[in-house]
């Protein structure tokens, strides 16, 4: 999506704040002993309160209001009876639409106490997202996002998942531009344009570079079940600093 009017910006800011607030509420409710289905229901109730509709359900008929991925699950984890345990790493991905506008955000949470190596992975994923947002500016190439993400991962001894990527968002959940890579793709000459809305989501991995789909048709895992962390923001490209849409109130 490319924002061209004040009404579009207002709509994107509203849905961005909604998904961010739902993510924050779910993260604060997260505790050992609860199931991922119970956590998903908290997201369901929060979305309903804001008058928003779950995008995974509306667009893909996903069997949950949000995607909740635990430990070896990288993304698209289905809410279930799985019990969250002490030491778990839990990724929550919230996407929704309201009044024709879509927002998308995610974060990875830890249930303490956790191992130091897991904390390091989380911190690298956070810093990779922050570094990626810093290069979002009209006139820059989209490939610069993947360049800084890959550099941040390698600097910390990690890899990036190459078959998961960011994307445009706004008029649809997965909008133009498609495939915002989490690695440097030298052949990608696309330019960031003013008003373009990007969902940037680095997947930082301990050891592996790709994921496989589980038999349930949704859940993604690395072949050797090693850990991966992800954070995501939806941002608007401007001539100066980008506007982060997915910050809670």
Can you give the C-alpha Rg of the chain in angstroms? 17
pLDDT at 104: 98
Summarize pLDDT for 215-247 with one digit per residue, the tens.
999 999 999 999 999 999 999 999 999 999 999
Measured in residues, the chain has a length of: 249
pLDDT of residue 249: 78
Distance CA 70, CA 165 (A): 19
Rounded Cα distance between 197 and 232, Å, is 13
Distance, in Å, from the CA atom of 222 to the CA atom of 205, rounded to the nearest integer, reads 9
Nearest to 91 by CA among 33, 175, 26: 26
Write down the pTM of the prediction. Answer: 0.96
Q: Which residues of the chain have pLDDT under 70?
A: none
Architecture of the domain delimited by 6-244: Alpha-Beta Complex (3.90)
The upper half-sphere exposure of residue 108, i.e. CA atoms within 13 Å in the direction of its Cβ, equals 33
Q: What is the pLDDT of residue 157?
A: 97
- 234: which 2 tokens? 């939806």
Query: Among the residues of 135-241, which ranges form H helices?
Result: 143-155
What is the separation, in whole angstroms, between the first and last Cα of the chain?
A: 24
CB 195 within 8 Å of CB 174: no
CA distance 151 to 44: 37
């Amino acid at each position: 999506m490319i924002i061209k009017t004040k009404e579009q910006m207002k709509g994107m800011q509203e849905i961005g704040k909604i998904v961010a607030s739902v993510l924050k509420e779910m993260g604060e409710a997260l505790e050992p002993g609860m199931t991922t289905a119970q956590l998903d229901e908290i997201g369901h109730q929060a979305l309903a309160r804001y008058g928003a509709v779950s995008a995974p359900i509306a667009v893909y008929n996903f069997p949950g209001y949000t995607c909740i991925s635990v430990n070896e699950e990288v993304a698209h984890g289905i809410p279930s009876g799985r019990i969250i345990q002490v030491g778990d790493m839990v990724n929550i991905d919230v996407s929704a639409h309201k009044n024709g506008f879509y927002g998308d955000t995610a974060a990875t949470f830890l249930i303490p106490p956790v191992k130091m190596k897991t904390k390091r992975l989380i911190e690298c994923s956070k810093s990779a997202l922050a570094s990626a947002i810093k290069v979002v500016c009209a006139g820059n190439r989209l490939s610069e996002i993947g360049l800084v993400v890959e550099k941040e991962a390698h600097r910390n001894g990690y890899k990036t998942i190459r078959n998961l990527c960011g994307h445009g968002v706004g008029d649809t959940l997965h909008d133009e531009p498609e495939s915002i890579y989490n690695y440097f793709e030298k052949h990608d000459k696309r330019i960031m344009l003013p008003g373009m809305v990007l969902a940037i989501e680095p997947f930082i991995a301990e050891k592996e570079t790709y994921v496989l789909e589980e038999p349930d048709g949704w859940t993604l895992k690395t072949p050797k079940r090693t850990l991966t962390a992800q954070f995501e923001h939806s941002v608007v490209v401007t001539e100066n600093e980008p506007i982060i849409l997915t910050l809670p109130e």
